Structure 1
Amino acid sequence: MRNAPWKVDRLTGSIGAQVSGLDVRQTGPADADVLRDLVREHGVLFLRGQSTDPAALVGLAGVFGDVLPAHPLKPGLPDHPEVLANQTGGVRPQDVRCRDAHNRHGTNWHVDGTFVREVPTYSLLQAARVPPVGGDTLFADLAGAYAVLSAPLRDLADGLSCPHDVRLLYADWLEPGADSLRREKLLEMPVVSQPLVAVDEEAGGRRSLVLNPNCVRVIEGLSDLESHTLLELFMQYTLVPERTVRWRWAEGDIALWDNVRLLHNYVLDHGASSRLIHRAMAGSAPLKPVRSWIPEMSPSLVMPSDR
């Protein structure tokens, strides 16, 4: 771990750290290794009071790798096509009541972009406008959840895959009367198979569950009952309070995180007040399944018979 030139305060015993003394407008390639190390250690970083110019968010994303288009199916800002604007407001009581255990249908626990072959590596959110109360964002550690599974469950999960279908996320685009162009774009998106466990080689082979309730319903080769039971079990391991962190936004705040390692969700409790969050993403790669990963041999990994 390289020494950070900024103040870093852990927020929980598992994930999350606040970084102080960093101005994103002054970050560049020289800061990349330190920031990547901090994300690798803490999962998600929070930066208070940054410039709300979308160009600054794009610049910070660029420190982590190639900045991606805002979304495979949605346009970005006119002057910043890499930035997606997520605006919500006018939350009604029924918007909260009609959700399921994973908060689908309004907001939801999810990983960004697992429905494409090359999954975004880093996600960044910035608060452009915040409500007086509510609208927090939560994060949950998929790597921490995998680490505490029993050995038989880890062995089972290591060999499984799931179809990730974006049409489950945007099912309303397929309803009668929906915009025909959006419907056509959605239907052109293929269903992508992803491993249920992904390996992060840069983190020494750390493994994370790959759970995304907004576009995954089944596990390949398993019945609906088996799929539902296992996916629910893995989610329960992930969403315990000890593997989560919650962030209360102020204008200009930025959250940046390992998109594959963490689930995130936002709390739909801000009533009629408006909330505007900008998102950018950087880097992308196919998820590496356990079965295809061969760790580099070191003295600690050599079996006694090989010495």
Structure 2
Amino acid sequence: MLKKIAEDCWKIRRLTGSIGAEILGVDMRQCNAKSAAALLDLLDEHGVIFLRGQSKDPGDLADFAALFGPMLPAHPMKPGLPGLPAILGNETGRVSDSDVQCRDIHNRQGTNWHVDCTFMPRLPALSLLQAAVVPPHGGDTLFADLRGAYDALSAPLRRLASELHCRHDARKLYPEWLRDDADPELRDKLLRTEPVTHPLVLEDARTGRRSLLLNPNCITGIVGLSQLESDTLLSLLTTHTLIPERTVRWRWTEGDIAIWSNPRLLHNYVLDHGAAERRIYRAMVDHSA
């Protein structure tokens, strides 16, 4: 069902009963500060929004992302594109057999359920993806709603989660960078990145709504709990979050744009496209957006 909104005659097509909406009638190259404010309001409601048929030029992505607030570097430890230091080029094609081997219950070798860059002291507020090259089949991206997961917890678990803090460590995400044959520069950057602590429950500054902050690829434990207690509670919360009713799956076409509230959503990319090429660009926007 399509719902009209005032901004430039856009229309909203909800994708599930919980999160995700496609916004029709938007041209990101024609957007301005007013358009960005309207899109942020839609993000507050839907968590993640999608724009089809947009430009594939990463320079246009940079200009569009800058409408939402100060842009962050492409990645804390990886370079951006030449001339576009805030844009990360993700060449994620040519899936190998080892990529789909399980590393743990929520992660595989090549990808995983995650929130972007929680191993940094300051979390990105927004993440944006731009599909430049997509495989003929597969390579979808999944999103799961951490706000809905928090709301659906029993009252005792909400109270407990709201009192806890988690350790986030980039070394859990990039263990291969610590091998003897790894790039020395990457290894040094990783070793200099100290673990950080974030609350297990965050409050959104715009809406006042609360959400879990889960990141299976970075969290090493909950402060003050034993490893068994920590692993058991985190597994329960993650499994609770990843039920189908709290997820949406996006099938990419070239030029699609995805925008989401980074702390509110887990996301994951499906490694089912074999040797086909896949190129996705990413931008991140700071908290003050």
TM-score range, shorter chain: over 0.9
Please tell me the root mean square deviation across aligned C-alpha atoms, in Å. 1.2
- Is this contact kept in 2: 1:99–1:106, CA < 8 A? no
Aligned to 2:159: 155
Match of 2:202, as an amino acid?
A
Q: Which has the larger radius of gyration?
A: 1
Match of 1:239, as an amino acid?
L
**Aligned residue pairs: how many?**
283
Of 224, 229, 239, the residue aligned with 1:226 is 229
Give 3-state SS (helix, strand or coil) of 1:218's partner.
Answer: strand
Of 161, 171, 183, the residue aligned with 2:187 is 183
User: Aligned runs of 1:53-132 on 2, under 5 Å?
Assistant: 53-132=57-136
Match of 2:82, as an amino acid?
P
Aligned to 1:16: 20
CA displacement 1:43-71 (0-9 Å, x = unmatched): 00000010111111111111111011100
Is residue 252 of structure 1 aligned with residue 255 of structure 2? yes
User: Aligned runs of 1:42-57 on 2, under 5 Å?
Assistant: 42-57=46-61
Structure 2 unaligned regions, length at least 5: none
Deviation at 1:89? 2.3
Aligned mates of 1:190, 1:94 — CA distance in 2: 29
Give 3-state SS (helix, strand or coil) of 1:221's partner.
Answer: coil
CA displacement 1:185-238 (0-9 Å, x = unmatched): 1111111100000001311x2111000011112111101110011001101111
Aligned mates of 2:77, 2:96 — CA distance in 1: 27
Give 3-state SS (helix, strand or coil) of 2:287's partner.
Answer: strand
Aligned mates of 1:180, 1:217 — CA distance in 2: 24
4+ long deviations beyond 4 Å: none
Deviation at 1:98? 3.2
Aligned mates of 2:99, 2:29 — CA distance in 1: 37
Give 3-state SS (helix, strand or coil) of 2:211's partner.
Answer: strand
Aligned mates of 1:123, 1:50 — CA distance in 2: 17
Deviation at 1:184? 0.9
Of 136, 139, 143, the residue aligned with 2:140 is 136
- Is this contact kept in 1: 2:100–2:108, CA < 8 A? no
Decide which moves more: 116-125 or 176-185: 176-185
- Is this contact kept in 1: 2:101–2:108, CA < 8 A? no
